[in-house]
Structure 1
Amino acid sequence: MSGIDAAFLSRGIAEAAALRTDTCRITRPGDGERTRNPATGKYEDPEPVTVYEGPARIPSRANSPAGSARAADGGSAAWQVSDFPLDLPLDGPGYTSGESVGPGQTVTWLTSATDPELVGRVFGIVAPARQTYAVARRFLMREVVS
């Protein structure tokens, strides 16, 4: 590796893993057609497919738009739209075989070691975040709150 050795990168991966004290579940839309529920008369989407469930964190990013909030409106409705980084392990347990984490999927925060208000919050993955010498899989996620 030019300029960086494998031991240094391994330490970075271990340090990033130690910071992932929260857990999340990432799902994609289910396969198949919507079906009509005879009890309610409403159409329902297929059950979502779990792509990943395991350790995660929302890292702080100084001088970054991630974590920034902005107002949005449409007609008589108003929303607060916020972007956040998402940090997942590079690989290993938690990933569903044959599935990939990516844009258009939903992130549901399951546990948080330091912020109980994160639990139950739902985000959408907007884009992957690429970097050289990655020590984590990173994505940009968005939360929309009315």
Structure 2
Amino acid sequence: MAGLDAALAGVTAWIGDNLLIDTVRVTLPATGDPVLNEATGQLEYPDGDILYEGPGAVQGSAAQAEISAVPDHNLPWVQETTSRYRLLTPLPAPIPPKDAVVTVVAVHDPAHTGLLGRSWTCTDPGRAGTVEVVRITPLDQLRTGAP
């Protein structure tokens, strides 16, 4: 359908120009043993392999129904919540696998630095469909920062 393809190309270009304006990094989780940083006295995990670094966006969910609480195994009450976010990347970007780690490494506006320093895990692979204009990957914010 030539008309639909042309319309989708226009939407894809608009999304790239107006939404995918920050820089995101998608990495595999670190697999090596932690190494002692003698300067800080802290154990540090090695970096995971970078799968993608480029244009993207991380958006929080506005729907309260998408925030759910999960009890820890040894507590009789709910302690932590699952924070639903979504990663938007261009269609040519690789599909992030489940458990990949996402960080925002640069923002387009210095006033919007709230996402810097946080990390998320991909709860499922990037979604796919027969008609797409942007890749959407569901995320959950990591509680303790990057692994």
Q: TM-score, normalized by length of structure 2? A: 0.71
Alignment of 1:47-86 (within 5 A): 47-59=47-59, 68-74=66-72, 75=74, 78-86=79-87
Answer whether contact 1:35 1:46 (CA < 8 A) is retained. yes
Q: Distance in 2 between matches of 1:9 and 1:54?
A: 21
State the shift of 1:81 in Å. Answer: 1.6
Gaps of 5+ in 2: none
Q: Is the deviation greater in 13-22 or in 108-117?
A: 108-117
Q: Is 1:126 the equivalent of 2:127?
A: no
Q: TM-score, normalized by length of structure 1? A: 0.71
Which residue in the other structure is 1:110 paired with? 105
Change (3 A) 1:145 1:109: same
Q: Distance in 2 between matches of 1:6 and 1:145?
A: 41
Aligned-residue CA RMSD in angstroms?
A: 3.4
Moved beyond 6 Å, runs of 4+: none
Q: Secondary structure at the match of 2:6?
A: helix
**Cα shift readout 1:86-107 (whole Å, capped 9, x = no counterpart):** 1101116xx6xxxx52111000
Q: Distance in 1 between matches of 2:82 and 2:60?
A: 17
Q: Is 1:23 the equivalent of 2:20?
A: no
Tell me which amino acid in the other structure corresponds to 1:87.
L
Gaps of 5+ in 1: none
Change (3 A) 1:46 1:135: same
Report the identity percentage: 22
Q: Distance in 1 between matches of 2:35 and 2:104?
A: 29
